[in-house]
Amino acid sequence: MRAFVVLLKKEFLQIRRNSFLPRLIVAFPILVMLIMPLIMTMDVRNVNVVVVDQDLSTISRRIVSHIEASDYFTLIGVTSEFERAMGYLEKGLADVIVQIPDDFERYVANSMAAKISITANAVDATKGSMGMQYLIQTITHTISEVQEELGSTMLSDLVTIQNRFNPTLDYRHYMIPALMIMLFILICGFLPALSIVGEKESGTIEQINVTPVSRLTFILSKLIPYWLIGLFVLTVAMGIARLVYGLSPEGSIGAIYLSAVLFILTISGFSLTVANFSETMQQTMFVMFFFIMVFMLMSGLFTPIDSMPQWAQRFTLVLPPRYFVEILRAVYLKGATPVELWGSYVALGIFAVLFNSLAAVTYKKQI
């Protein structure tokens, strides 16, 4: 017990003495939480639109003026030839072409099928598809207006839409839990590995290995500081989410901390396991880098897991952050309870036990 206390104290002293770590631990979460939500937005703005107006009617002019008035679009020009519009698109001056065909007004007036064609540059897929969705919405709106004026039923009147859990459709609310997870992955993923490999490279680990300190004591003394740092980071991040973005968790704080503890245990244990298998710091870092990239891009942080191909979806089942993403978003935004999310909690728990035992087993005092 005494050995454990002094080792723990030593870890904290070393972290404090490091010229870089304390600054990183404090500044990194604050910067990430303050800056990233400004960047992470899926609201497409400034989509450049060219309209090919072959109808030259009241309704087509109305569509053009609605596009011009919208915040989402910048009207680059109106032309009557598709080729000219295509020229704009190829030069990168326009992102989307809207083509209103001849006789469009007559068709609409008679409730007949008419086609507006929309051509988007999908080189940037996000922008292309989002721009297209917004255009369809804008134009549909214009057309229903006209139809209502003509006296027919608007289909959009027949349906009510309720946006549960995030009525303002604020994308930030969706991304803030993701940012917290990203912080955990980076801080609790990289740092413990670095600290143990650092001892390997400087030879101090050998001095520890000839002492009667048990493997578990040593590993725990390495891990606990990072668990506490992780919880500190979570608290700071939640504070910022509340003060700056007015987002407080719908669910219980306890449920959040419980999942966070399980996740921090998992990721730091994982990190130590990788360090135990590596010979040099360079190797550890490259391998950790690899897993961190996989964790960040495949756990549903930025892109939905549901849209992945089947095999990839199955693969995500072995990625611990996947469960944490599910839990944190559900608890934070939807107020879900651990009972409702028991599967994910259990999965995280299993990973936590697994990786920490692996870390303790693979740490060899003797070769």
Which residues, 239 to 298, sit near another protein by CB under 8 A?
279-283, 285-287, 289-290, 292-294, 296-298
Task: Determine the angle formed by the axes of helices 215-245 and 21-39, rounding to 10 degrees.
Answer: 40
Alpha-carbon separation of residue 338 from 305, 324, 341 (angstroms)? 21, 12, 5
* Beta carbon of residue 174, minimum distance to another protein (angstroms, whole number): 5
Number of residues in contact with another protein under rule CB under 8 A: 130
- E strand intervals along 2-54: 47-53
Binding of another protein by 361 (CB under 8 A): no
Distance (Å, rounded) from C-alpha 350 to C-alpha 242? 31
Binding of another protein by 165 (CB under 8 A): yes
* Beta carbon of residue 290, minimum distance to another protein (angstroms, whole number): 5
Contact stretch for another protein (CB under 8 A) within 148-156, 230-238, 252-260, 353-361: 148-156
- The residue among 195 and 356 lying less far from another protein, judged by its C-beta, is 195
Which one of 13, 34, 243, 346 is in contact with another protein (CB under 8 A)? 13
Distance (Å, rounded) from C-alpha 324 to C-alpha 196? 25
Report residue 87 as tokens: 């020229």
Report residue 365 as tokens: 């005092």
Report residue 69 as tokens: 């008035």
Contact stretch for another protein (CB under 8 A) within 18-26, 49-57, 60-68, 263-271: 18-26
Per CB under 8 A, contacts with another protein among 91-120 are 92, 111-120
Report residue 298 as tokens: 């495949």
Contact stretch for another protein (CB under 8 A) within 33-41, 61-69, 236-244, 260-268: 33-41
Q: How would you class 19 by CB atoms within 10 Å of its CB: exposed for 0-12, middle for 13-18, buried for 19 or more?
A: exposed
**Order of strands across the sheet with 47-53?**
73-79, 47-53, 96-100
Binding of another protein by 12 (CB under 8 A): no
Residue 163: CB atoms within 10 Å: 8
* Beta carbon of residue 80, minimum distance to another protein (angstroms, whole number): 19
Alpha-carbon separation of residue 27 from 68, 178, 191 (angstroms)? 42, 18, 15
Which residue is it, tokens 């604050």? 30
Per CB under 8 A, contacts with another protein among 296-335 are 296-298, 302-304, 306-309, 312, 315, 326, 329-330, 333-335
- The residue among 139 and 180 lying less far from another protein, judged by its C-beta, is 139
E strand or H helix at 62 = helix 58-69
Residues in Cβ contact with 87 at an 8 Å cutoff, skipping those fewer than 6 apart: none
Binding of another protein by 58 (CB under 8 A): no
Per CB under 8 A, contacts with another protein among 76-95 are 89, 92
Report residue 154 as tokens: 């608007």
* Beta carbon of residue 317, minimum distance to another protein (angstroms, whole number): 13
- The residue among 254 and 353 lying less far from another protein, judged by its C-beta, is 254
Which one of 140, 150, 246, 253 is in contact with another protein (CB under 8 A)? 140
- The residue among 122 and 243 lying less far from another protein, judged by its C-beta, is 122
* Beta carbon of residue 213, minimum distance to another protein (angstroms, whole number): 5
* Beta carbon of residue 227, minimum distance to another protein (angstroms, whole number): 19
* Beta carbon of residue 152, minimum distance to another protein (angstroms, whole number): 7
Backbone angles phi, psi at 308, to 5 degrees: -80, 160
